[in-house]
């Protein structure tokens, strides 16, 4: 970690704890800042806050009102989950107090080379593929991942060395809080219309995503999906060397698929069918990872070894187990329609789909084609159950059932399935109406499958 003096003696307010806030606070203190932390969760129920308090941090819990700023601060470091329209953040911006996020700190102190991955879908799988490829047969140092993948980057960045490569999954929430963040290789997997409750408009959302390349120069690389004209146009905003990837063979200047085979600039890599994780979306993820690996000089042999053995990331079209001819898949990370559509397209066998969750105010008509082509039966839960039921009815799905939650959906899915079917949890919605996060939702699904089948999850 670089020993910078930027924060020495600075009065910093860290808004929001969880993993990123706790580790950002500790990093700032190590850099010489005078740190106060604020979290809405009461102190009696907040182990993170109590731990920081025991270590000498000033801790404030409860509602984050504008008067939090009364003591005076030089900087706000905000948890990405806190909206910009909360009173304390609005006041900070009005008073020209800089508001940044954890990822800005990480970029400033990182000794290791940075590879950053963003996109509406595929970030975690692509990040993991890249890490495994870049780490394969490495002669010096290691490739490690962190960030939105669930591992706090502000902790990992304190441990990596100049010999290492830090592969960061970065969300739009993280990127919007950056000003100088500068990865050597940036990856854009795709852009749809997500998180408009936070960003307000799609233009804001796209602008947040494109901050991943905002500070890159001609010495850097921008790896971008060329299968959509909009994304091709967006690549022109980058000053970096653009390296495209394309499942639809829109460009042969980078990684691409042609006639079921994967290539990089004309060099044959492997057959798409050899990738262990199913679905066209995972072919796209693999192509993005291949592009990065080739930029880094990784051998074709190492790339193939990773893609043939990598069985997927937990909660992301994750193979759980097979019992009585039925294969169970956990895709709890599918918190939007596009992710569920891509998961469905990855299967040729009939699918019994488990879906539903938080109502964000949109309808699901665009899912009719994928329901019609892939879904044998659908089991629905959560706030959007009725909306999804209407969509399934329009798609001609013959069996539509509603149930209480993921746990009760699993035995019902077994009853409605036959040998050879896929039982897929891919909710197309966020989990927050019934579960703390998508991870808990996926874990409950796996536990219910294990209880039903008497078998253990395959890892």
Q: CA geometry: angle at 121 spanning 117 and 124, to 5°?
A: 50
Q: Does 123 show up as a binding residue in the annotation?
A: yes
Q: Does 236 show up as a binding residue in the annotation?
A: no
Cβ 177 vs Cβ 198: under 8 Å: no
Q: Does 401 show up as a binding residue in the annotation?
A: no
C-alpha distances out from residue 20 to 17, 75, 106, 275, Å: 7, 17, 11, 33
Q: Does 311 show up as a binding residue in the annotation?
A: no
What per-residue string of b and e applies to 403-427 under the rule 16 or more CB within 10 Å gives b?
bebbeebbebbbebbeeebbbbbbb
Helices marked H in 136-261 = 153-156, 172-175, 196-199, 202-210, 229-235
C-beta neighbour count of 83 within 10 angstroms: 13
Q: CA geometry: angle at 170 spanning 167 and 174, to 5°?
A: 140
Q: Does 363 show up as a binding residue in the annotation?
A: no
3-state secondary structure of 292: helix
Residue 250: exposure state from Cβ atoms within 10 A (0-12, 13-18, ≥19): middle
Token duo for residue 29: 């203190």
Helices marked H in 153-260 = 153-156, 172-175, 196-199, 202-210, 229-235
Binding residues for ATP: 119-125
Annotated binding residues, as ranges?
119-125
């Amino acid at each position: 970690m670089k020993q910078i003096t930027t924060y020495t003696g600075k009065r910093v307010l860290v808004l929001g704890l969880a993993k990123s806030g706790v580790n950002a606070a500790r990093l700032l203190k190590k850099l010489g800042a005078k740190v106060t932390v604020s979290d809405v969760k009461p102190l009696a129920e907040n182990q993170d806050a109590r731990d920081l308090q025991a270590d000498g941090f000033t801790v404030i819990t409860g509602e984050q009102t504008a008067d939090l700023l009364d003591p005076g601060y030089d900087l706000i470091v905000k948890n990405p989950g806190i909206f910009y329209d909360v009173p304390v953040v609005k006041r900070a911006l009005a008073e020209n107090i800089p508001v940044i996020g954890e990822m800005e700190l990480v970029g400033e102190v990182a000794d290791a080379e940075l590879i950053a991955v963003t996109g509406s879908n595929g970030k975690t799988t692509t990040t993991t593929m890249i890490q495994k490829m870049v780490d394969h047969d490495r002669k010096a140092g290691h490739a490690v991942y962190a960030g939105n993948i669930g591992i706090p980057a502000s902790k990992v960045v304190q441990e990596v060395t100049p010999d290492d490569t830090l592969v960061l999954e970065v969300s739009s929430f993280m990127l919007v809080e950056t000003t100088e963040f500068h990865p050597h290789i940036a990856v854009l997997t795709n852009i749809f219309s997500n998180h408009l409750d936070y960003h307000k408009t799609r233009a804001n959302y796209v602008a947040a995503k494109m901050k991943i390349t905002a500070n890159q120069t001609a010495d850097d690389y921008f790896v971008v999906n060329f299968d959509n004209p909009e994304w091709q146009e967006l690549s022109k905003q980058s000053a970096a060397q653009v390296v495209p990837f394309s499942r639809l063979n829109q460009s042969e200047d980078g990684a691409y698929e042609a006639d079921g085979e994967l290539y990089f600039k004309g060099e044959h890599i492997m057959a798409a069918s050899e990738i262990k994780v199913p679905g066209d979306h995972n072919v796209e993820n693999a192509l993005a990872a291949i592009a990065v690996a080739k930029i880094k000089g990784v051998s074709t042999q190492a790339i193939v070894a990773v893609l043939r053995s990598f069985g997927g990331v937990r909660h992301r079209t994750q193979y759980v187990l097979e019992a009585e001819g039925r294969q169970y898949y956990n895709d709890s990370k599918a918190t939007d329609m596009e992710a569920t559509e891509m998961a469905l397209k990855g299967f040729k066998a009939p699918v019994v789909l488990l879906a539903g969750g938080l109502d964000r105010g949109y309808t699901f008509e665009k899912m009719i084609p994928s329901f019609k082509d892939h879904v044998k039966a659908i089991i629905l839960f959560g706030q959007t159950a009725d909306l999804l039921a209407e969509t399934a009815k329009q798609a001609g799905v013959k069996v539509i059932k509603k149930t209480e939650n993921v746990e009760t959906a699993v035995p019902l899915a077994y009853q409605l399935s036959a040998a050879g079917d896929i039982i897929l949890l891919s909710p197309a919605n966020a989990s927050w109406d019934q579960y703390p996060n998508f991870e808990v939702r996926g874990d409950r699904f796996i536990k219910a499958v294990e209880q039903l089948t008497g078998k253990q999850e395959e890892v």
